Structures are given as structure tokens and as C-alpha cells.
Amino acid sequence: MISAWIFDFDGVLVNTMETHFACYSQALEEAGVPIDKAQFYSQAGMTGREQIAYFARRAGKSVDVDAIYRRKGEIFRARKPEARAIESMVDLYKLLRANGHPVAIATGSSRPSVMPVIEQFDLAPNALVTSEDVQRGKPNPDLFLAAAERLGAPPDRCVVVEDSDVGIESAKRAGMRALRFFDRIAGSSARVEKGPLPL
């Protein structure tokens, strides 16, 4: 039996990934570090600092990760979050909440970047875990384990809704089932990872 649901945020409930990518691209470009879009998206769920450190290592550059992360935040705030709700997932999220299921949001993004969007789309969860709450981002299991703990749910009775490779790996490492979501221009779909969902 499922005890709780844990949703990733960017790319699952809302689409802000293009904005995040553009902001990281500008901040890293200013530091002389190239960024690859496909790689960035596949690593969605890492903390921002982990993403910056990854691309700096890949480029063989020694950089001030915190300074670049602060600069990314400045660019993001200046642009304001350009978000659209992913309606199918928001509908599922709100249906679960309305029927009394404990629901968490666990994201590698920062609390200041997600809170305005959560408020904009009325997505207040029972528990929120962000990059400030853990030492390691995805694919480590820390975010999801922290969310389960805050919900008071055993990990093996949690379902994670994710869209990224590192997010799916993180859910598996946490001992949770994962529902893989794909957001496409022509529509959206989802498939279950790690066996069927119990009814």
C-alpha cells in the first residue's frame, strides 16, 4: 500500500527548466565555462552548486562555485521565474491532496526559487525539501529520504514522481518506487519504474 507521494518540482509540476538553463548558461559563460543542454537536463535534480562544479570540472576550470551560484540567482530573480504549470501532473498532485494522501515536494532547486512558483500555482505540500536541507543532491537519495521522514512514511511505501535520470536513480537508491514522467510538446506520458504500483 502506498503511504505517500513525493514529487520533483521543475519538469514535473511546473516547467521552469528553460529559464534555469538560460540562467546557468549565462552565469557559467561569464566564468568561461561551457554548458551542455542535454547533459544539464539529464542531471536535473542535482543541486545548483553540483551542476556548476560538474561543468567546471568537465571544462578543466577552477572556479568559485558559490560566486557563480549567486550570480545565477541574480539573473534568475531579474528574469522572474517564467513558469507554466504541467497540467496533468498538477491535476494528479491536487487530486492526491484532496483525497488525503500525504504529498511532498523534493527538489534540488533552492527554496527562494521554488516558493514563488508554489504560491503562484497553489501547490503547497505537506512537506517541502530543497537544496538547503541536504548535503547532497540527486542521484543521492538524501532529498527523498528527508521528504519521507518529514511525512512520517516508510521509504518502501513512497512513490516518487520524477522526470530526470538522476531523479530516478535517487528514488531507487532511497528504496522507493518511481513514476517516470515525460513532458513533450505533442503531449505527456508517464511510466512506472521499479515494478507496478500497488493499488
pLDDT score recorded for residue 187: 38
Per-residue pLDDT tens over the stretch 106-164: 998 889 888 988 998 999 999 999 999 999 989 999 999 999 999 999 999 999 999 98
C-alpha cell at 152: 512520517
User: Who contacts 58 (Cβ-Cβ below 8 Å, separation ≥6)?
Assistant: none
pLDDT on residue 190:
42
Q: What is the pLDDT of residue 101?
A: 96
Residue from 45, 44, 128 nearest 93 by CA: 128
Q: 52: which residues sit within 8 A by CB, 6+ positions away?
A: 24, 27, 28, 33, 63, 65, 68, 69, 72
Note whether 155 and 176 are within 8 A (CB). yes
Q: Give the mean pLDDT of 54-59.
A: 96
What contacts 24+ positions apart, CB below 8 Å, involve 53-57?
A: 55/28, 56/28, 56/31
Query: For residues 55 and 83, which has the higher predicted lDDT (pLDDT)?
Result: 55
What's the pTM? 0.75
pLDDT range class, residue 1, cuts 50, 70, 90? confident
Is the pLDDT confidence value at 198 over 50?
Answer: no
Q: What is the pLDDT of residue 26?
A: 96
